[in-house]
Structures are given as C-alpha cells and as structure tokens.
Amino acid sequence: MKKIGVLTSGGDAPGMNACIRAVVRCGARYKLEVIGIRRGYCGLLEGDFVRLAPRSVANIIQRGGTFLECGRCEEMKTEEGIKKAIQVLHKEGLEGLIPIGGDGTFRGAAALAKAGDIRVIGIPGTIDNDVYGTDYAIGFDTAVNTAMEAIDKIRDTAGSLQRPFFVEVMGRNRGFIALDVGIAGGAEDILIPEAETKIEELCLDIRRNFEKGKKSSIVVVAEGDEAGGVFQVAQQVWERLRLDYRVCVLGHIQRGGSPTARDRILASKLGAAAVDALVEGKSGVMVGELKGEIALTPLEETYTKRKTMDGSLLQLMKVLSA
C-alpha cells in the first residue's frame, strides 16, 4: 500500500483536525502518501484533492471544525455515486480510504468497501456520539463541555430571576449529549428521545422545586425529544403552571471551539489505529474505543445496531436534583 485518502464528512466535530493530523503523520511512518479529500464525499466525486505532508498538518491539533471541510452528499447514496467514487479513487491511485464522520458517512463507506477493491476504515467523529462500536466519538466531549459551560451561565440568570429555563442541546436522534450535560450541569430534568416525556410529571417537578426553595429549574431537552422540541415542551408547561420561563437553544455553538484534551487524545489514537488497520490489510470496519481498548466493528453494524445508553443516569439526576 502506497497511497491513501482521508476525508471528513457529515457534520463537523471538534477533534477532526487532530485526527487528520494523526492519519497523516502515522501514514508518514509507513511511508504512505496521504491525500486529503476536501468537502467529504462531494469533494471525492469531484476529485478535489490535496497532498498532505506531515508539515501540512502543523498547528491544527487545537483547531475546531475541519480544515478539509465536510459535506453531506446525496449522490453517494446512489449506486452511480458509489461507482463514480471508486473510479475517481482508482484514477488517483488511492488504495485505501479513511472517512471520518457519523452514520451517514459510514453508509457510504460500507458501500464503497463492498463495491470495490479499495480498503476502507472508518473513524467515528460526531458530537451526537450515536455510533455503535465506540464508547465515545470524536467531538462529543468538547460539545458536552461547551454546553455545560453555557448551562452554568444560564443558571446564574435563572436563579437571579427565579425562572425555569428550557435548554435545548443537539442530538437529533439520541440523547447522549443531553444526558451527560444534564448530569454535569446539575439539571433538574432531562428530556431525551429514549424516555417518554411526561409533561404532568415535569410540571410537578418544577412546582416542587420552587416550593423546596430552589431558585431555578434547568430542564435540558434533547433536540430529538419525542415531545416535539423545546418550544413545545415549554409552551405545554406554561399552559399548566403559568410561570414566566425562558428557552435557550444552544445550537451550533456546541459543534465549534477548540477540542478538549480528551477529544484530541481520542482523535490521535483512532487516527493512528485506522492507519495501522489499513496497513494490516483490514477493510470495511470502523476503529473505535471500547472500555479504553481499540475495537474494530463492521461498518454496517455501526449504523444498524443501536448503541446502548446508561439509563441509570436519569435516576441519578432525579436523586441529585433533590
């Protein structure tokens, strides 16, 4: 193996740059030529390539976003798109590909690995952390810390004016960010898609909190909560309690910023492991980390199997918000 490509796809996640850096520099150790593919699969189909030497990835470990840029590519969901991608990879002489991203990225990666002779090793990079086969995806820790700091600030004003606050965090299908942020930020309630949202119980909690002398009630709501989103939840509570409230949607600030040490370390380990796996002749798998060890999972399983969640954290939140 002489030449490999690396791309970032789907939504960006803090730590992707650290991961590209690891791929390039570990590739250099094996004397591999590493090609950066800009704008994810969109750039791949258009042959938007840049040669990456170890010095090309200097001074990026601390930067959020992805300097290769990313994208969501509809064409890669089609058979023609996959065929075209394989042709482009062959034309460029690429024998291996490392796509960094989430479930959408891995669907394309699995199809590529199946359809041709290009070796493909995925790396999980998504703040949602909803990929099966890894305890943590690159970007999750940074997003949780960013949202936690925001909630710390919100609590200052919530307590001063004695208002309930409904804070929406990202996670369109799963509640991993909401759960961790809720625990770390000392939330009074956490609403996630994995648990039924009971408005009457929520109202009871909020009312009791104020009766107990609490000055604020912070309700963390995952973007994908089945109750229909943070504004609907807040409105339904207002209809029952008639309490002045505020909604705060943290949105894309959770995706930006300098990656935490944890994300940089994870990104570095997974980038190195992906290059090792390619050189060893592996393909069609994602490199993740399970209980601190590098683990390989077939790409199809990363999006067809459901990652389990530590449901006991919801109980813990109830106890700790007493």
Contact map string, positions 217 to 246, toward ligand F6P, x by CB under 6 A: ------x-----------------------
Please pick, from the candidates 172, 208, 306, 318, the single residue that binds ligand F6P as defined by CB under 6 A: 172
CB within 8 Å of 127: residues ≥ 6 apart? 11, 13, 14, 137, 139, 140, 142, 143, 170, 177, 254, 255
Residue 31: CB minimum distance to ligand F6P, A: 35
Query: Using CB under 6 A, which of 34, 88, 151, 170 touches ligand F6P?
Result: 170
* Cα distances (Å, whole numbers) of residue 151 to 75, 97, 145, 182, 261: 39, 39, 10, 9, 21
**Can you list the positions of beta strands (E) in the chain?**
3-8, 33-37, 49-52, 96-101, 119-124, 164-169, 189-191, 217-222, 246-249, 285-290, 293-298
255 binds ligand F6P (CB under 6 A): yes
Nearer to ligand F6P, 140 or 165 (CB): 140
Contacts of 95 (CB under 8 A, 6+ apart): 1, 2, 3, 4, 118, 119
Measured from the CB atom, the residue of 7 and 272 that comes closer to ligand F6P is 7
Task: Give the residue with the Cβ less far from ligand F6P, 96 or 229.
Answer: 229
Between 26 and 170, whose beta carbon lies closer to ligand F6P?
A: 170
- Catalytic, 128? Answer yes
Indicate which residue of 12, 48, 117, 128 is catalytic. 128
CA angle, 125 then 130 then 131, to 5°: 65
Q: Rounded to the nearest whole angstrom, what is the least distance from the CB of residue 171 to ligand F6P in the complex? A: 5
Return the residue of 11, 101, 133, 229 that touches ligand F6P, per CB under 6 A: 11
* Residues near ligand F6P (CB under 6 A): 11, 102, 126-128, 170-172, 223, 255
> Which residues form the catalytic set?
128
